[in-house]
Amino acid sequence: MDLLVHLENAGVSLGGKPILRHVDFDLQPGQVAGVTGPNGSGKTTLIRMLTTLLRVSEGAGSILGADVNSDQVFAVRPSIGMIGHNPALIDELTLRENLVHVVRLAGLAEERVDPVLEVVGLDEASDRRADASSFGMRRRIEVAHLLLTRPRLLLLDEATSGLDNSARELIDALMDRTIGDGGGVVMVSHDHQRLDESCDEVMALSSGRLERAR
């Protein structure tokens, strides 16, 4: 079975400073990996490296079959989905318009927007501008977008922080769907209980190094 992610001795430096060092990491299809660590340990950098948006400074490996040291990564980016710290919505557009924008850029049919808004519970609230919507509502739009684009590799960086239970359950459902499709999930969180409940393995980042925690 091809690994979704395979990293050998990977490292990332930013501004000349090493942030991640000697990272060995494999992610199987259907696997949920958790990452924890103190503030400033490089968790977000790890996530961004896995998106291929941050290129490795050293080491080797592949993400969704693309060599991390080559331009092959551009081709696999549409198969990677991320929920980061801040929702990537355009403030001046409504929630629905933001989703339509994403759907169009992804080359998907606009007809799929309204059904997915209903699934995430925003069908009556989607005409609000993004800057007039709560954090939770903006998160739900991100989930809606990922439900439509069906990424094979799902990366969650503190995705459930500040969310109510129903929004958290929605993200759980997104994770389950990704796993069910044969994809994989990497989840960064400070919530150890959540990591224990959701993840097949949990790793800890410390001083830029990734070590298995359990």
Partner 1 sequence: MSFWNQTLEIARVDLRVERRLGDTLRIVLPFAVVALMVFPLSLGIELATISRIGPAVFWALGILFGMQVALRQSAADTQERRDLHALLGVDPAARFVGRVLSGGVLMLAFLVVLFIAMVLIYGPTLPSGYWPTVLLGTVLFSIGLTELGTLAGEITAGLRNRTALASLIVAPLALPLVIGASQSLEALSRGTGILPWVLLMLATDLALAVIGVGMARPLEEATR
Partner 2 sequence: MTRIRVLFSVAAAAMTVGLWFALTAPPDSLQGEYSRIINVHVPSLWLAFLAFGVTALGSIMWLWKKKQRWDRLASASAEIGVLFTGIGLFTGMVWGHAVWGRAWDWGDPRLTSTAVMFFVYLGYIALRNAVDDPVVKARRSAILGVVAVVQVPLVYFSVNLFRTLHQTQSIRPDGSTMPAEMLIAMLVNVVAFTILYVALMAARTDVARLEEANRETELLAGDAVKPPKLSEVGDV
Binding stretches for partner 1 (CB under 8 A): 48, 51, 53-55, 74, 77-78, 80-82, 84, 86-88, 90, 92-93, 97, 101-102, 104-107, 149
Interaction between residue 163 and partner 2 (CB under 8 A): no
How many residues make up the chain in this entry? 214
Q: Which does 106 bind (CB under 5 to 8 A by kind): partner 2, partner 1, none?
A: partner 1
With CB under 5 to 8 Å by kind, the binding choice for 137 among partner 1, partner 2, none is partner 2
Q: How far is the CB of 61 from partner 1 (least distance, A)?
A: 18
Q: Which is nearer to partner 1, 76 or 204 (CB)?
A: 76
Residue 68's CB: how many other CB atoms inside 10 A? Answer: 21
Which of residues 10, 80, 167, 203 is near partner 2 by CB under 8 A?
A: 167
Question: What's the maximum distance between 2 C-alpha atoms anywhere in the chain?
Answer: 49
Per DSSP, the residues of 19-82 read EEEEEEEEE-TT-EEEEE--TTSSHHHHHHHHTTSS--SEEEEEETTEETTSTTHHHHGGGEEE
For 103, counting Cβ atoms within 10 Å of its Cβ (0-12 exposed, 13-18 middle, 19+ buried), the class is buried
Residues 105-134 contacting partner 2, CB under 8 A: 112, 115-116, 118-125, 128, 132-134
| Residue selected from 9, 70, 161, 166 as contacting partner 2 according to rule CB under 8 A | 166
In the window 180-199, what residues touch partner 2 (CB under 8 A)? 180
Q: Cα(199)–Cα(61) distance, rounded to whole angstroms?
A: 23
Is there a contact between 153 and 184 (Cβ–Cβ < 8 Å)?
yes
Q: Which amino acid is at 30?
A: G
**What residue ranges bind partner 2 (CB under 8 A)?**
112, 115-116, 118-125, 128, 132-134, 136-137, 140, 147-148, 166-167, 169-170, 173-174, 176-177, 180
